[in-house]
Structure 1
Amino acid sequence: MCSGGFAKCLGVSLMPLSVVCVLCNILLFFPGGKSVESEHITEQVWYFGGILGSGLLMIFPALVFLDLKNNDCCGCCGNEGCGRRFAMLSSILFAAVGVVGAGYSVIVAGVAINHGPQCVTHKNETHTEWSSPFSDGDYLSNKALWSHCKEPSGVVSWHLSLFSVLLVMGLIQMALCGVQVVNGLLGALCGDCCGCCGGSDGAV
């Protein structure tokens, strides 16, 4: 497969992953599927790891990868392969942006998973207390501790599931962007295997 065609496959793969990450981050603003006041939303949700890191920042490299297959490889100062090689080289920069964005999302998700959700830990007729009862990840190995969260219902599993998805999606995005760094280097050094310039010359 041509280096440009392979990059296009990577771009196609990154797009749905970005959409999933954005949706997960949005859902985290509704702990347990419930609407709560902004001060009761877990702090890490406001870091927008899924929306900015694995979402918007990932759109740019994905679009660049998608367009590499169609990039003109025959118009750079009379050098037939120059255009394609430069495009593949520049894709490395966008891949690095993708790695940074996904890495940010992974870090935020990891911290959030360890920290746990904010929830109602004490409630009576006159007072409702919100706090973060899991500060060191102990709830991950002891499900009995989940009962510390009284409300919203299912907030712990909601928090853990969505941030876990963000963590896994971010790692996959980092891997795909890392693959494009290698692919971009090969494309810049060796040229595109499709030989589109040769094909166009032969048709004249």
Structure 2
Amino acid sequence: MCTSKCSKCIGIALFPLAICAIISNLLLYFPNGEVLEARRITDLVWFFHGIMGAGILVFLPAFMLLGVGGAGCCANKCRMLLSIIFAFLGTAGGIYCVIISFLGLISGPLCDIGDEVYIYPFRNDTFVDNYLFNQTTWGICKKPENIILWNTALFALLLAIGAAEAILCLIQVVNGLLAFVCGLRERKTDIAGM
């Protein structure tokens, strides 16, 4: 079994996910394509969950995984150990993105309910009565136009991206452990054969 090929495939898969996460997080700063004052943007956007969590923290293992391998399978234990460490970092970034995105979906956006009064109209809803399951309540938000759909789509996308990245990075942790064990066995076999 060649674990370096698996690592490279995971590394290649992480790149577009991280780029999509960064773009999605940036779009949350411009609700419905509008430029608003910072105080009128949903507060959970400022946690940088797509930029830092699912973006930069996932780029690190992606770069590392593209460089994993070397002469044959299970050959470079040091790189595999580093890939495990970076994969844990990527997993943490993905999980952070999932948590903040989930909170963003549940609590809803900051919006103008009329007369320039910006509040979080859905923040104290119970899970059963949540605005996500009752679209008739969406009319309470007057500005920015389509803010609920905008936030819901982008937070849901970030949640899915973060989950996919966390799963891929966890797969790499297992893959790296297998490569490390395989490398140790290969070394013991070489020593015994001498």
TM over 0.5: yes
Is 1:156 aligned to residue 148 of structure 2? yes
The one-letter code sitting in structure 2 at the alignment partner of 1:166 is: L
Query: What does the per-residue CA deviation read over 1:109-159, in whole Å, with 9 as the maximum and x for residues that have no partner?
Result: 011111100111012xxxx11111011351011000100101111110000
Name 1:202's counterpart in structure 2. Answer: none
TM-score, with normalisation over the residues of structure 2?
0.88
Name 1:130's counterpart in structure 2. Answer: 118
Name 2:112's counterpart in structure 1. Answer: 120
In 1, distance between residues paired with 2:122 and 2:164? 27
- Percent of aligned pairs sharing the same letter: 38
In 2, distance between residues paired with 1:35 and 1:91? 40
In 2, distance between residues paired with 1:54 and 1:87? 23
Name 2:11's counterpart in structure 1. Answer: 11
Name 2:91's counterpart in structure 1. Answer: 99
* Greater radius of gyration (CA): 1
Q: RMSD value over aligned CA atoms?
A: 1.9
Q: Within 5 Å, which residues of 2 pair with 1:1-204? A: 2-69=2-69, 71=70, 84-123=76-115, 128-135=116-123, 136=125, 138-191=130-183
The one-letter code sitting in structure 2 at the alignment partner of 1:9 is: C
Q: Spell out structure 1 runs of 4+ moving beyond 3 A.
A: none
The unaligned stretches of length 5 or more in structure 1 are 74-80, 193-197, 199-204
The unaligned stretches of length 5 or more in structure 2 are 185-189
In 1, distance between residues paired with 2:64 and 2:2? 16
